[in-house]
Chain A
Amino acid sequence: MLWQLDLVILTLVVATAIGAVAIKDLLGSAILFGAYSFMMCLLWAIMGAVDVAFTEASVGAGVSTVFFVAAVFRTTRRTKD
């Protein structure tokens, strides 16, 4: 129950999400998406959902970003928007 921290991280999360969607480079998007899931992990931890935080940590750090990078590697980084 750390509402002060909660507020700050929530703001960060929104900033990261906007960044991930707005960046005109898919690899950058993928990396920012990784950062986004770090933030989310923190957020779950703050709200006391340790298991969710653990899952998000392992998935976000270990797997989903790697998948994204792999997919971008196999396709293209170019994007118009």
Chain B
Amino acid sequence: MMDRFFLYCAIYLSFLMLLSLYRAILGPTVLDRLIGANAIGSKTAVLLILIGLIYHRVDMFVDIALAYAMLNFIAVLAASRYFQKRKGLFGE
């Protein structure tokens, strides 16, 4: 029962990812894309745990999610660093 519930939750979450993806693909500026990607990332970590629960092997998936949570923001930081170094938003 709970499995089914979690499965629907997961599908719903992936639907939400689609919404964020819309922003990530069409977002007018790069920073909007960045927000979209970040949102996708935070949902991914949750989805990983959900999948682990559905598999009944959450002890195996939790490491992945942990690593994910740790590393997810490196990319975001890196991308934001791009602008901190006095490079413009549009073009060079």
Chain A residues at the B interface, C-beta cutoff of 8 Å: 2, 4-5, 8-9, 12, 15-16, 19, 23, 25, 27-28, 30-32, 34-35, 38-39, 41-42, 45-46, 48, 50, 53-54, 57-58, 61-62, 65-66, 69-70, 72-73, 76-78
Contact = CB atoms under 8 A, between A and B. Distances in A.
Interface residues of B, number: 43
Given A35-B40, A48-B55, A73 B82 contact: yes
A71 B51 CA distance: 34
11 contacts: A5-B11, A5-B51, A32-B37, A38-B40, A41-B68, A45-B52, A46-B51, A57-B48, A57-B64, A61-B68, A66-B75
B14 A70 contact: no
A75 to B, nearest CB: 11
Contacts of B85: 73
Contact of A5 (B14, B44, B75, B92): B14
Nearest to A65: B75
Interface string B5-38: 0010011001101100100110100100110110
B82 A69 contact: yes
Contacts of A50: 60-61, 64
Contacts of B34: 31
Nearest to A34: B75
Contacts of A61: 41, 67-68, 71-72, 74-75
Closest 5 CB pairs of A and B: A62-B71, A65-B75, A19-B25, A61-B71, A69-B78
